A and B are shown apart, each in its own frame.
Chain A
Amino acid sequence: MAARPRFAGLARLAGKALLPFWAVAGIAVGGTLMVGHWYTLPVPNTQDAQVTAALNQLRGPAERHSWLLVHFLYADCRCSQRIFEHLLERGRDPAFAEKMVLIGEHSTSVERAIAAGFAVDVVSVPELAARFHVQSAPLFAVISDAGTLSYLGGYTERKQGALILDQRIASDLRKSKHVASLPVFGCVVSRSLQRALDPLGIKYDQKG
């Protein structure tokens, strides 16, 4: 590196004055990013009848008495994309009725999901909140053959967990085993919550 350039006294003073602002900004930006990752994403109330009804409406005509698996996946959410890829890889589970609710503007995802055998609903963010009271994704819901909301939560036991447990959860529920809801690791979908957690618009401008 070349020799340190000679700074005029004023420039040095300005540099020294800038440093505290830089530090505060660094803490703020870092905190914001961290909040985005750490914040426990909200899950709709499983006792909410409106949510249960809205989910039951997703059944196809031939699926009235089937267990229904619903995957809420956000187009620009990295975690949702990971689950989406997982689902395509494993393919639709023939033991269950299974539906993807894709939030936002998915370009090729709809076609790929359909091609993989999944039923797909595309909803906008406001619609998602209005219909399902869902504010975050990826979110996994299991509705029993009796139409009750048996599970509403995340896919993995930990953030970016390698083991995606959707099929095991569904299988256990159908065997009437107790399954605790996993936390949702992913993205905030609700605009109001995004503004609250990312006031600087760093994370959710990118919707990552």
Chain B
Amino acid sequence: MKALLDVLVLPRQITDFERSYVKRVNRVGLAFFALHLPVFVVVAYFNRTGPLSALVLTLGVLAGPAIAYLSLENPRAVALVYGFASMLMGGLLVHFGQGPMQIEMHFYFFALLAMLAVYGNPLVILTAALTVALHHLAVWLYVPRSVFNYDASAWVVLVHASFVVLESIATCAIARAFFDNVIGLEKIVQARTGELDARNRDLRLVLDTVDQGFLTVDRRGVMSSERSAVLTRWLGAAGEGELFADYLERVAPTAAAMFRLAWDEVIADVLPLEVALDQLPCRFALGSLSFRLDYKPILRADSLEKALIVISDVTSRVERERLEREQQEVLRIFERLTSDRAGFLEYYEEASEQIAALAGDGIQDVSLLKRLMHTLKGNSLLFGIDTVADACHQMESRLVEDGERPSGDALDRLAARWQRLHDHLEALLGKRAQGKIEIEEAEFDATLRAVLRGEPKQEIARRIAAWRLEPTLRRLERVAEQAQGIARRLNKAPLHVQIEAGELRLDAARWRPFWAAFVHVVRNGIDHGLESAEERRLADKPSEGRLAFATRIERDEFVVAISDDGRGINWPALAERAKAQGLPHETQAELSESMFADGVSTAAQVTEISGRGIGMGAARDACLALSGRMIVASEAGKGTRVEFRFPRRLMAEDPTGRLAA
């Protein structure tokens, strides 16, 4: 019984599609019933059964569907009334169609029962069938003889009824199948859509849970509407159909500009796709957060249709890398302190002063500011303090390329980093380590022996005073080691460094600015002068590059010399740069002079080592500050030699003066 009811009775819920469909059928059905009116009048006229009566009775039957259509909200209920009315209409047709065709008029009932299947509602058919049954029952109750007229047996009536029952069963089945598979299609679609939505929700949950943001862009660079929710959290909400470059521009203008340019290359399809994609920006920072960008091409028929962009929050990784770098720097500091304590401490003191000067914002002269940052960068690189060198390089780039002075944030970060280095150094040395004098055992023994031998006081004093002086050998060895490091970093030929220090010593404090600037000359020599191994082989030179340092006394002059066997100064290129800068460049003297001007460099590109045209000027300034002079000699393909010549008396302070003080 329940199974039968399940077939006959539709689910209570009416979908929008079913409501719309049944309403439409009801509308057509009402028109269909209305058409009965003229037809029945005509039928009655030709059969002489009373057209007026046909008009009145048909209108009476038509009133039911009309009232139901206008007053019932539920379209299924309207359909039930239609089922009932259809059978009444059949009764009228048989009545008014009496004559030779009267039997045929009964087909109306069977036709209408079948037509009612269009509702897809078995109850409508059942209503129609029950109407007929009720009709017969009412007549039987009223005039029992009338049902079994013509002396027809009960079997005749049973056969008559069985056709109606059979058709009703079949039509109900068809109606239900129609409902389930056509009218109910919306429900099936909804169910399928629901499943897809559930899958999409799961997928979205996964996408929204991972620490990566996914989105796709089409060839125009327009973002897809489906993207990870985390992107909104990180970068803000994106507009519908917004370009990814515009979206990125709100938070990372530089990366956005890079994307715009590189995306044009990607679409232009000139470069190989992998190469073009490599040009796209791969990192950007937003406040304290760092993000990485990855691009995966989505191809159709070997042509780029879309690209998947994966944005990852790599803040923790960057932070970890930063900490690792800092840790490595601490290790390098330890190594430096072990191998060249004085040299490192000197760098530390000088760098501390430079950072203090930068942070103080008291340097208005841009050239001075550039040299300060350039020197700090160069020295930091030499001592392996890459974090400071990187910070200086970025500030320097902004200053040179965009004319922007270092921002407060950048200087604060630099100061904070330096403070951390300071803390590490204190932990390694203790707070009072920097004021101490360390001497080699051999020197101590030599001094002791001199005292025991009874050497003159002046000589003893000279020896002791020399403890505070720095051997130029140590300084040159330090510079040589750093030079080899630079050559390795720049993928130059292996570098052999020759040192002739001549057992000379210098007042470390006085000469510190010079040595700091001297480093620029070394870096320039390697970066611009020293060839790669392949280049040297083609030039028929030894595979190992040669660099020579020397300190010596020539008459009353203290000479510091550096020479290499590299490609020499590119004088034509220098002339061109000087010309571009509006500097005199006609004579060799003018060209040599232009070498020291800010912004003049023969380097094709700026590296973290050199190329900004600052170093040579800084070196000459440091030389002049010690009343020295600088001589540059270079021969194309043979190498370059730079000499600094100073008054000998400036090498170190007279010990008697210090004692007197």
Contact = CB atoms under 8 A, between A and B. Distances in A.
Interface stretch (A14-22, A106-114, A169-177): A14-22
Contacts of B138: 27-28, 31
A54 interface: no
A15 B91 contact: no
B191 interface: no
A41 to B, nearest CB: 9
Interface stretch (A116-124, A136-144, A154-162): A154-162
B98 interface: yes
A16 B149 contact: no
A81 B48 contact: yes
A202 B57 contact: yes
Given A25-B60, A33-B91, A78 B150 contact: no
A50 interface: no
A40 B47 contact: no
B68 A39 contact: no
Given A23-B84, A34-B135, A202-B57, A15 B68 contact: yes
Nearest to B147: A38
B351 interface: no
A16 B69 CA distance: 10
Contacts of A62: none
Interface stretch (A5-13, A63-71, A95-103, A127-135): A5-13
A190 to B, nearest CB: 15
Given A38-B147, A160-B98, A208 B64 contact: no
B27 A1 contact: yes
B30 A1 contact: yes
Given A15-B71, A16-B71, A206-B49, A160 B95 contact: no
A60 interface: no
Tell me the interface secondary structure of chain A in the complex.
helix
Contacts of A26: 60-61, 64, 84-85, 88
Given A23-B84, A26-B88, A27-B135, A34 B146 contact: yes
Contacts of A203: 95
A14 B71 CA distance: 8
A34 B139 contact: yes
Nearest to A184: B150
A197 interface: yes
B439 interface: no
Given A1-B31, A33-B92, A78 B49 contact: yes
B528 to A, nearest CB: 87
Contact of B50 (A4, A25, A208): A208
B102 interface: yes
A7 B49 contact: no
B100 A162 contact: yes
A208 to B, nearest CB: 5
B625 to A, nearest CB: 97
B80 to A, nearest CB: 10
Contact of B68 (A19, A25, A197): A19
Contacts of A5: 70
A35 interface: yes
Contacts of A28: 138
Given A26-B84, A31-B135, A40 B150 contact: yes
B81 A19 contact: yes
Contacts of B145: 39-40
B50 A197 contact: no
Contacts of B258: none
Leading 9 A-B pairs by shortest Cβ distance: A15-B71, A30-B91, A38-B146, A12-B71, A39-B146, A206-B50, A40-B149, A22-B64, A26-B88
Interface of B: 27, 30-31, 47-50, 53, 57, 60-61, 63-64, 67-73, 81, 84-85, 87-88, 91-92, 94-95, 98-100, 102-103, 131, 134-136, 138-139, 142-143, 145-147, 149-151
25 contacts: A1-B30, A4-B69, A5-B70, A13-B71, A16-B72, A19-B68, A22-B64, A22-B67, A23-B64, A26-B60, A27-B138, A29-B60, A30-B135, A31-B139, A34-B135, A37-B98, A39-B146, A81-B48, A159-B102, A160-B99, A162-B100, A183-B149, A183-B150, A203-B95, A208-B49
